[in-house]
Chain A
Amino acid sequence: MTTALGKDLIGLEGLTRAQIELILDTAEPFKEVSERPIKKVPALRGKTIVNLFFEPSTRTRISFEFAEKRLSADTVNVASSGSSVSKGETLVDTARNLEAMRIDMVVIRHGSSGAAQFLGNRIRSNVVNAGDGQHEHPTQGLLDLLTLRDEFGKIEGLKVAICGDVLHSRVARSNLWGLRTMGAEVGICGPASLLPRGISELGVTMLPRIEDAIQWADALNILRLQLERMHAGFIPSLREYNRVFGVSTERLAQAPKPLRILHPGPMNRGVEIDSDVADGPHSVILPQVTNGVAVRMAVLYLLAGGSPEWATPGSDDR
């Protein structure tokens, strides 16, 4: 079956439009589960999921944990500090030891690009990438797609500008692949020092100034400026960045059509986005967070069905 997802979700690059649509369509009924008086369905009863987070994360980890618990899975959180990872255990050894305890899925966040793929190739459990280095953050890309589809009714033909630190952003990469597969036009806006080399050859619209992005786009996806970049000399100062690339109410007022504002969080208010924009009528930042739980429930539900050769024998087989 061409729409089945396979064992792992590593990135949106390489997923077909039918596969992305399957995830988004499956997320729709899961939105309702979170509105129930009892926010729980028994779909993953008896499944054990390990959240393996080698990098700090609040929103993504909690969102995955809610998604898992609302599907009735049993969950264990492993953080790199306070575990044997800090004693020098390798990624594969950690995962194999977990697998020896008969787990079914691993959600992994790691600082190295390719870590999720590396793990997925070496263990039988399903692997979901919750962000690997500068590679991809597929569930963030999916929740951005779901939010855009909610707002506009469709993704095909939309113009979405990805603004800011594209160079270091796995969110930007997942958005780029997902949006293109779904037929949207992608614009890129940011200081030249924070754009990857050769990006203009990927068939995107280059928008040198934030004013250009505001004129061009239906929606802006404003990336977080990772503050440690300033010390590394990518930008002169935060104030300077805000003056040139910050999204303010005054700048948005120049838009020819009402824009939607997305931000993956956590926000640096007053740097890449002003507070009155983040909290303003164009912002869909909190709907993004709500959709994140639904989209992660959909991914876990679909992967747990899996392809038969990876089905775990004897698990809750009543």
Chain B
Amino acid sequence: MAGALHRMATEIVERNQGTDGLVIVGIQRRGVELAERVAALIEAAEGTTLPRGKLDITLYRDDLQTIGPRPIVNETRLPAALDGASVIIVDDVLYTGRTARAALDEVADFGRPRRVWLCVLVDRGGRELPIQADIVGSTVALDTRDRVEVMVTEVDGLDAVDVIRAANGEAR
């Protein structure tokens, strides 16, 4: 995971041609930790400080009316000025694209960034909306019944990416 995060941090700076206007925003829960890691890597490499944010997209989910008892809502905290910024949305896994859609809608309620990039650790395919990531740690093609679990030390006590195949039920 460390190597992938390094590559992602480097690519963010290259794409933005520096760190001007960068705001790193993580999606609750594990995207927040990954965003913090990526931001710290960029800061160490570039000798600068970057504004960060965290986004909980629960209230923007398109299935809120049908999922029954309400999910817990976590904190949303974005820097005051998003207008004109280059916002990097960081999440652990990109799958259907519905979370990214919700995140884009929520960011738009905080201002008008110059551009928004989507940065994910794992792209597992299986999109249900026309959305793609700009910066990807690794890509795996998985069946809809397979699962990807990303664990980070801050939440889970270790860093790991597990792919659980429905066919044999084993992690690898």
Among the listed B56, B75, B110, which residue makes an inter-chain contact with A38, where contact means beta carbons less than 8 Å apart?
B110
Residue from B60, B62, B76, B109 having most chain A Cβ neighbours under 10 A: B109
Least CB distance, A306 to chain B, in whole angstroms:
8
Main secondary structure of the interface of B (DSSP, over half): loop
B17 at the interface (CB under 8 A from A): no
Q: Knowing A42-B59, A43-B59 touch, does A305 contact B109 (C-beta < 8 A)?
A: no
Least CB distance, A277 to chain B, in whole angstroms:
34
Least CB distance, A209 to chain B, in whole angstroms:
44
Say whether B69 contacts A1, CB under 8 Å: yes
| Residues of A in contact, count (CB < 8 Å) | 30
Least CB distance, B112 to chain A, in whole angstroms:
10
Q: How far is the CA of A311 from the CA of B69 in the complex (A)?
A: 10
Which of B58-80 touch A at CB < 8 Å?
Answer: 58-60, 62, 64-70, 72-77
Q: How far is the CA of A40 from the CA of B105 in the complex (A)?
A: 12
Contacts of A28 in B (CB 8 A): 75
A32 at the interface (CB under 8 A from B): yes
Say whether A318 contacts B62, CB under 8 Å: yes
Main secondary structure of the interface of A (DSSP, over half): loop
Among the listed B68, B77, B111, which residue makes an inter-chain contact with A311, where contact means beta carbons less than 8 Å apart?
B68
Say whether A42 contacts B68, CB under 8 Å: no
A4 at the interface (CB under 8 A from B): yes
Say whether A29 contacts B109, CB under 8 Å: no
A36 at the interface (CB under 8 A from B): yes
Contacts of A213 in B (CB 8 A): none
Mask: chain A, 291-307; 1 = CB below 8 Å from B; 0 = not:
00000000001101111
Residue from B58, B59, B68, B69 having most chain A Cβ neighbours under 10 A: B59
A121 at the interface (CB under 8 A from B): no
Least CB distance, B65 to chain A, in whole angstroms:
5
Say whether A41 contacts B70, CB under 8 Å: no
Say whether A46 contacts B65, CB under 8 Å: yes
A26 at the interface (CB under 8 A from B): yes
Mask: chain B, 29-58; 1 = CB below 8 Å from A; 0 = not:
000000000000000000000000000101
A315 at the interface (CB under 8 A from B): yes
Q: How far is the CA of A46 from the CA of B66 in the complex (A)?
A: 13
Mask: chain A, 140-177; 1 = CB below 8 Å from B; 0 = not:
00000000000000000000000000000000000000
Q: List 14 A-B contacts (CB under 8 A).
A: A26-B73, A29-B73, A33-B59, A36-B110, A41-B59, A41-B109, A42-B60, A43-B58, A43-B60, A71-B59, A301-B59, A301-B70, A306-B68, A307-B69
Residues of B at under 8 Å CB distance from A? 56, 58-60, 62, 64-70, 72-77, 105-106, 109-111
Residues of A at under 8 Å CB distance from B? 1, 4, 25-26, 28-30, 32-33, 36-38, 40-43, 46, 71, 301-302, 304-308, 311, 315-318
Query: Contacts A38-B109, A41-B106, A301-B70 given; 18 further ones with Cβ under 8 A?
Result: A29-B74, A32-B75, A32-B76, A37-B109, A38-B110, A41-B59, A41-B60, A43-B58, A43-B60, A46-B65, A71-B59, A302-B70, A304-B70, A307-B68, A307-B69, A308-B68, A318-B62, A318-B65
